[in-house]
Amino acid sequence: MSPESEADTPGEATLPGTLPDALRAELVAFRRDLHMHPELGNQEFRTTAAIKERLERAGLKPRVLPVGTGLVCDIGTNTDSGQWSGGPRMLALRADIDALPIPDTKNECAYRSQVPDRAHACGHDVHTTVVLGTGLVLAALHEQGLLPRPVRLVFQPAEEVLPGGAADAIEGGALDGVRRILAVHCDPRVDAGRIGLRVGPITSACDRMEIALNGPGGHTARPHLTTDLVTAAARVATDVPALVARRVDSRSGLALTWGRIESGHAPNVIPQHAELAGTVRCLDLDAWRQAPDLVMGAIDEIANLYRAKSEITYVRGVPPVVNEVTSTELLQAAMVARRGTDAVESTEQSLGGEDFSWYLEHVPGAMARLGVRPPGERTVRDLHQGDFDVDEHAITVGVEMFTAAALIDAVQ
């Protein structure tokens, strides 16, 4: 994966904030170090320390979040403490810093994970490096008097842990004084050097659900004397998704999908207990808000038909990320300024969940899909797979887009 930059691109001659070669190489090395030392949600102590040390070396004053991992850092604030005390509200740039509990299978890669069953297989190491690099560039611009408005960096823990670490970051003050927030997410379907954008929902809601069904068991020769929990579980698994689909607008894309179903141990014994677990995903924000009542009502309805008692654990996940118009236009203007109009492509809404959505419940914002596929490569290394990797030129693209966004936003 080459860290080399491409030839000069549109806008670079008139807009400051491009990456010098030395910093570009440093950021690639920083990303590879994170990739080799992945940490799970709320355990990102080494990652937090590495980010903090580099920001402090640049003369900045990062503040670790109250939960103990993750941090925020303001650039260009008007107090020595780093706390915001009025004036124009800030633009925030958010990165997630946690990894996934899966093995890294890139056996020939020099910077593959050194931690068993842990991998940065979702690109959070890239997101972190992009926001860190942006902070270093903006800090240098601030020293030169070229940063008209303060910017906040948000390094958030535990994005992969439902309902997401964004809520902890918000509670810790990450949005205090913020007027708009931006983020990127790696997209292996988009070539490095490009981004994908859309106005409106760009991800989906995602909740988790576990169900326990209970009732008297017995011999399979006398099912009429039992609560036939295997049949009950099977009917819940098949009938509930169909029932829910008929009680919500089909355009909402509400989908209930099972990942686990367990019951019984012997072929001639009707068990007393059954379990199911799955996810509820939804394209539409209003339908997501209705989803718990709809789904749990349908489960109870089917379970009652088979005289099974149901216990439902419904874990609220994240709403869809809904890109606000002005924030999306800001990302587009920044990318066009750096790379030209051909560097921006439209993208579809995905069924994946992202806790960046929680920030958008409070302030407007948008997320761009950052291209990480090496141009010309046909194989897509999909997210959440052990062989996931990126074209590291995406780091340069992300940093220069974010710095341009900060400068353009300051004059709007």
Is the confidence at residue 363, as pLDDT, over 90? yes
* pLDDT confidence bin for 88, thresholds 50/70/90: low
Residues 396 and 26: their CA atoms lie apart, in Å, by 11
Beta strand pairing call for 151-156 and 195-197? unpaired
Residue pair 48/71 in contact (Cβ under 8 Å)? The answer is yes
Is the confidence at residue 280, as pLDDT, over 50? yes
Residues 280 and 127: their CA atoms lie apart, in Å, by 27
Find the Cα–Cα–Cα–Cα dihedral 140, 143, 146, 151, rounded to 10°. 70
7 phi and psi, to 5 degrees? -65, 165
pLDDT at residue number 13: 44
pLDDT tens per residue across span 112-142: 999 999 999 999 999 999 999 999 999 999 9
- pTM score, whole prediction: 0.87
pLDDT tens per residue across span 42-52: 999 999 999 99
68 phi and psi, to 5 degrees? 105, -20
* pLDDT confidence bin for 411, thresholds 50/70/90: confident
Helices 393-410 and 124-143, axial angle in degrees (round to 10):
50
The first and second tokens of residue 48, run together, are: 């937090």
Encode 261-299: b = buried (16+ Cβ within 10 Å), e = exposed.
bebbeeeeebbbebbbebbbbbbbbebbebbbebbbebb
